[in-house]
Amino acid sequence: MENNPASLRRDPSESVKRALRQEVGFGCPIPHCRKPFLSWHHFDPPWHERHHHEPNGMIALCIEHHAMADRKVFTKAQLHGFKKADNDLSTVRAKFPWAQPNHLVRFGGIYTQGHDVPVSIADNDIIRVTQDPIGCMGLSFSMRDQRGRLVAAMENNMFQATPNLLSDLHVDTGATKIRFRMKGGDAKLDLSFRFVTIDELKEMLVHDEARAQAAYKKLLPNFTCSTANPLFSREEIPQPEFKFKVAESVIERARTRCLNEEGRISLLDFRNVVSYIDGRKLEIRDRLVYEGLSVQFSAIFR
């Protein structure tokens, strides 16, 4: 419990937010809502009566219903009832306003953009980006646990999650970030949407290429050097050359296809992903790893 009225900020700590998210099953508990864009309403007592961050007197609500609660549309008794309702079996759903034209997508140092770009493993789409005739994007993906259960998914920007499989789900009120962790498993997702400049994109590419170079140099001696019959001495190990000029290709694609009228690029960034395909682990962080296959610093355009 946080309670120092003289200096208390209205925004509660992450531990309080997490408890409030879990209490409502990660979606707004008002009947027939279940949006995951949650904010924190103080109602017993209200913030203007006493500054506090006592979870028993707070509730997680979507922005729309938070505004209604501020206007006393719901009684204290109703809000306490919403807190006690069993929301664990009620699917969280929301349409994300990501139908921007010409997104650039980044995952594990791999970049993709185009009208219908699937990223598939073993005939399973991991991520699919589609665009309608006027260039607006639809993002689709599915995240499963080791038993094949659907933990969370997005279909053409419509997100849904299964609360009773999650230990935490955080979606910011601006609909720019999704983060979830699975309960009793390692499935996870960190996804963000933001606008970047060409210079910021160049910095990301430099970072991703340096990381790929370091991984290459770390792994190559294990395959090319032995004391009995070396293919190369360690001084002669060839430096990696990315023949398809990944960085240059991404910059050119961004300049010609992705820049908006403000000179910025809409970027969807999968930063930390663990999912399963037929019981086999897929990891996306600084690279994509599946069944011993590792891919990093690549570009897929269509």
User: Is residue 193 a contact partner of residue 176, using CB atoms and an 8 Å limit?
Assistant: yes
Between 91 and 122, the more confident residue is 91
Ranges 87-101, 156-170, 235-249, most confident = 156-170
Percent of the chain topping pLDDT 70: 87
HSE, CB side, 13 Å, CA atoms: give it for residue 66: 17
User: Is residue 151 a contact partner of residue 166, using CB atoms and an 8 Å limit?
Assistant: yes
- How far apart CA 90 and CA 29 sit, in angstroms, is 9
φ/ψ (deg, to 5) at 242: -85, 95
Q: Give residue 232's pLDDT.
A: 39
Residue 228, pLDDT above cutoff 50? no
- How far apart CA 266 and CA 260 sit, in angstroms, is 8
Provide mean pLDDT across the span 230-245: 49
- How far apart CA 37 and CA 26 sit, in angstroms, is 9
User: Is residue 103 a contact partner of residue 113, using CB atoms and an 8 Å limit?
Assistant: yes
pLDDT digits (tens, 9 = 90+) for 23-75: 999 999 999 999 999 999 999 999 999 999 999 999 999 999 999 999 999 99
Tokens for 23, please give them: 């209490």
User: Nearest-CA neighbor of 58 among 108, 118, 3?
Assistant: 3
Residue 119, pLDDT above cutoff 90? no
User: Is residue 37 a contact partner of residue 5, using CB atoms and an 8 Å limit?
Assistant: no
- How far apart CA 203 and CA 35 sit, in angstroms, is 35
Residue 233, pLDDT above cutoff 70? no
CB proximity list for 269: less than 8 A, separation 6 or greater = 105, 106, 107, 191, 192, 193, 194
Q: Give residue 245's pLDDT.
A: 87
Q: Give residue 201's pLDDT.
A: 97
Q: Give residue 170's pLDDT.
A: 94
- How far apart CA 11 and CA 284 sit, in angstroms, is 32
Q: Which residue has the tokens 């991991």?
A: 126
Buried b (16+ CB within 10 A) or exposed e, 3-39: eeeeeeeeebeeebbeebbbbbbbbbbbeebbbbbbb
pLDDT digits (tens, 9 = 90+) for 136-195: 788 899 999 999 999 999 998 999 999 999 999 999 988 899 999 999 889 999 999 999
CB proximity list for 257: less than 8 A, separation 6 or greater = 102, 113
User: Nearest-CA neighbor of 63 among 155, 175, 190?
Assistant: 175
